[in-house]
């Protein structure tokens, strides 16, 4: 394995982490707002608050880690993506900022303000839409070099069906991931009513997720032939991912082993996400930038990898502690412990 591959592997892993935890977070916010609208707030809010409260800050860090890390490992990305992403990334940032702080304002300040919940829920859907634009741009065809500076062609971007398919996939997968997780979590909490509702949402969002994912393959065929062929070369990975998807749906359908169902779902996204990333290599931005020509110097790469390993040694036990205290703690999940925040 070359240093370049190690670098992109580390970053991709953290992006995957963000994909899962942020999807749960964004989806939960949406379901919370939706339940307010439909008067089912009583059923869901408790469960959602219980999960989100101690972990919301951690979610953000996965994203920060990714965009700081990519500048470290692949400094040239700052030039290409930094220049072109000004508008979509800024919009994503503003939404993240509003969402993050208003979550804290509502949870710790004035609980139960409906306006905050709506803003929070809606922002959670716009964020993945804004951030997923980056994936579309990376497929090439939207960035041109004008006077040696990369420029984004917004008209082409907004007219491309690929853009919209990826946006839709980001939305459906957020809702799907989140509802499967919350089904499991509600079940652990012994909350039958919430489990039933979340299971229904999970089944509703399963099909749209897999259809849009498949649709993107078709879009890519005409948009980026090279990437498409690379994906076809590792068709078995996508097939495996599909099998895991079927497994999740089947378990949900037959109302059992929600924990395993969520595990299969994580596996499905893990495999698809890495297969997509792997087939994207060596390009970071078609056709301008590859992991090889944008890579940092060897001294920095080694320093970053050493720092990464040392950091993980610190983080993994801490994350484990966090999960053990809140996610895997039966009394906490069921609301038996009186763990009110400070």
- In angstroms, give the least distance from the CB of 231 to other proteins: 29
Which residues touch 166 (CB under 8 Å, ≥6 apart)?
Answer: 132, 133, 135, 136, 216
Closest CB 342 distance from other proteins, rounded Å:
4
Q: Please, what is the minimum distance in Å from the beta carbon of residue 246 to other proteins?
A: 35
- Using CB under 8 A as the binding rule, whether residue 292 contacts other proteins is answered as no
Q: Are the CB atoms for 280 and 239 separated by under 8 Å?
A: no
- Smallest distance from other proteins to CB 145, Å: 11
Nearest approach, Cβ of residue 296 and other proteins (Å) = 5
Stretch that binds other proteins, among 165-173, 196-204, 226-234, 320-328 (CB under 8 A): 320-328
Least Å distance between CB 15 and other proteins?
A: 13
User: Please, which residues bridge with residue 144 across strands?
Assistant: 151
**Closest CB to other proteins among 218 and 312?**
312
Rule CB under 8 A: which of 122-181 touch other proteins? Answer: 147, 149
* Torsion of Cα atoms, 205 then 207 then 209 then 211, to 10°: -150
Torsion angles phi and psi, residue 336, rounded to 5: -80, -35
Give exposure, 216-252, as e/b (b: 16+ Cβ within 10 Å): beebbeebbeebbebbeebeebbebbbebbebbbebb
The Cβ-side half-sphere exposure at 6, using a 13 Å CA radius, reads 14
Using an 8 Å Cβ cutoff, are 138 and 291 in contact?
A: no
Query: 85 to 114, contacts with other proteins by CB under 8 A?
Result: 85-87, 89-91, 93-94, 96-98, 100-105, 108-110
State whether the Cα torsion 53-55-57-59 is positive or negative: negative
Nearest to 220 by CA among 141, 289, 152: 141
Within 247-276, the residues that bind other proteins by CB under 8 A are: none
Query: Rounded to the nearest whole angstrom, what is the least distance from the CB of residue 270 to other proteins in the complex?
Result: 21
Q: How far apart are CA 17 and CA 63, in angstroms?
A: 9
With CB under 8 A as the rule, give the number of residues binding other proteins: 72
The nearer residue to other proteins, 156 or 303, going by C-beta atoms, is: 303
Please, which of residues 31-90 interact with other proteins by CB under 8 A?
53-58, 60-61, 63-65, 67-69, 71-76, 78-87, 89-90
Extract the tokens encoding 147: 């006077």
Which among 127, 133, 137, 3 is positioned nearest to 63, based on CA atoms? 127
Of 323-342, binders to other proteins (CB under 8 A) are 325-326, 337-342
> Which of the stretches 198-206, 207-215, 228-236, 296-304 binds other proteins when contact is defined by CB under 8 A?
296-304
Given 5, 36, 270, 319, the residue binding other proteins (CB under 8 A): 319
């Amino acid at each position: 394995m070359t240093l370049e591959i190690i670098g992109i592997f580390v970053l991709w892993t953290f992006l995957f982490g963000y994909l899962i935890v942020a999807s749960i977070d964004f989806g939960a916010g949406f379901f919370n707002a939706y339940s307010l609208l439909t008067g089912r707030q009583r059923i869901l809010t408790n469960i959602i608050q219980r999960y989100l409260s101690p972990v919301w800050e951690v979610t953000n860090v996965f994203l920060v880690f990714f965009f700081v890390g990519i500048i470290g490992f692949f400094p040239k990305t700052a030039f290409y993506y930094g220049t072109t992403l000004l508008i979509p990334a800024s919009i994503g940032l503003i939404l993240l900022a509003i969402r993050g702080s208003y979550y804290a304002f509502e949870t710790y300040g004035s609980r139960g303000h409906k306006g905050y919940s709506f803003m929070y829920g809606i922002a959670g859907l716009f964020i993945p839409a804004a951030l997923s634009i980056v994936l579309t741009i990376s497929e090439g065809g939207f960035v041109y070099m004008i006077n040696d500076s990369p420029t984004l062609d917004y008209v082409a971007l907004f007219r491309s069906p690929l853009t919209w398919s990826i946006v839709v996939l980001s939305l459906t997968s957020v809702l799907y991931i989140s509802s499967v997780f919350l089904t499991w979590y509600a079940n652990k909490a012994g909350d039958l009513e919430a489990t039933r509702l979340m299971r229904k949402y999970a089944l509703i969002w399963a099909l749209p997720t897999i259809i849009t994912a498949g649709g993107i393959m078709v879009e890519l065929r005409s948009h980026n032939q090279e990437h498409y062929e690379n994906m076809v070369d590792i068709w078995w990975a996508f097939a495996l991912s599909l099998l895991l998807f079927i497994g999740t749906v089947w378990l949900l359908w037959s109302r059992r082993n929600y924990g395993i169902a969520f595990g299969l779902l994580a596996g499905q996204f893990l495999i698809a996400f890495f297969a997509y990333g792997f087939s994207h290599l060596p390009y970071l931005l078609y056709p301008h930038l590859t992991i090889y020509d944008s890579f940092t110097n060897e001294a920095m790469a080694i320093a970053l990898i050493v720092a990464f390993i040392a950091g993980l040694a610190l983080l993994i036990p801490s994350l484990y502690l966090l999960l053990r205290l809140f996610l895997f703690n039966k009394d906490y999940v069921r609301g038996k412990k009186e763990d009110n925040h400070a």
